[in-house]
Amino acid sequence: MSRIGKREIVVPAGVTISVTPANEVIVKGPKGELRQLLDRDITIKQEGNIVNIVRPTDQIRHRALHGLYRSLVSNMVIGVTDGFKKVLELEGVGYRAAVTGQQIDMALGFSHNIIFDLPSEVKASATAEKGKRPTITLESTDKQLLGQVAAKIRSLRKPEPYKGKGVRYSDEIIRRKAGKSAGK
C-alpha cells in the first residue's frame, strides 16, 4: 500500500469536493475553484469531511497513480484554502523587476528588458528595498502552475556558480566555485 496514497485528506470547513461522472475532481473553496482529471481506475470516497483515494488492484501502474492523485487532490484543497507562494530573488548589479498588471518587466543584464506575461491565475508583486536584493513574489491557488511559472522566470537567467548572479528561489542555496588561481 502506498504510504502517501493511504493517508486521508481532511477537508476544512468552507471547501467542497465533487466528482463528475467523467472522473474529474472539482474542489471549491474561499480562494477559488480547481479541477483535476483522474485516471478512470482511481476512485474517490468521501465520508463527511474525510476523503480517501482508492485504487482497484496492486498493479504497479495503480500503485503509482494512487499516491500521485492523493497528492494532487491534497494540494488542491490547500490551494483553495491557503494558496501557495514562491519568492524569487534577483542577484546582480542592475538587476530589477517591476510588475504592471499581469506582466513582469525584468532587467537581467541583457541589452534589453524581458517582459514576462503571467497566466491569469498567478498574481505577482515586486519589491526593491535599499540594501536588499530585488524580489518577485508569486501567489496562486494552483501549485503546479505556480511552480511552472517560477521555473520559467528562473530559466531566463539561472544563477551562475562563480559570482552567484541570476534569478534564484529565496530558499535556494547556490554551490559556489573558486575562480581562476594565479599562474605562478
pLDDT tens-digit profile of 74-130?
999 999 999 999 999 999 999 999 999 999 999 999 999 999 999 999 999 999 999
Kindly list the distances between the CA atom of residue 1 and the CA atoms of 4, 55, 56, 67, 148, in Å, as whole numbers in the listed order.
9, 10, 12, 9, 30
Backbone φ and ψ for 123, nearest 5 degrees, come out as -110, 140
Domain that holds residue 98: 84-169
Does residue 104 belong to any structural domain of this protein?
yes
Are 61 and 32 members of one domain? yes
Q: Which of 57, 81, 105 delimits the end of a domain? A: 81
**Among candidate residues 171, 9, 20, the one with its CA nearest the CA of residue 81:** 9
> What pLDDT is stored for residue 4 in this prediction?
87
Are 120 and 61 members of one domain? no
C-alpha–C-alpha distance, residues 119 and 100, integer Å: 13
CATH number of the structural domain spanning residue 162:
3.90.930.12
State the pTM of this model.
0.88
Q: What are the tens digits of pLDDT across the range 37-54?
A: 999 999 999 998 999 999
Number of domains in the chain: 2
Are 69 and 92 members of one domain? no
Does residue 3 belong to any structural domain of this protein?
no
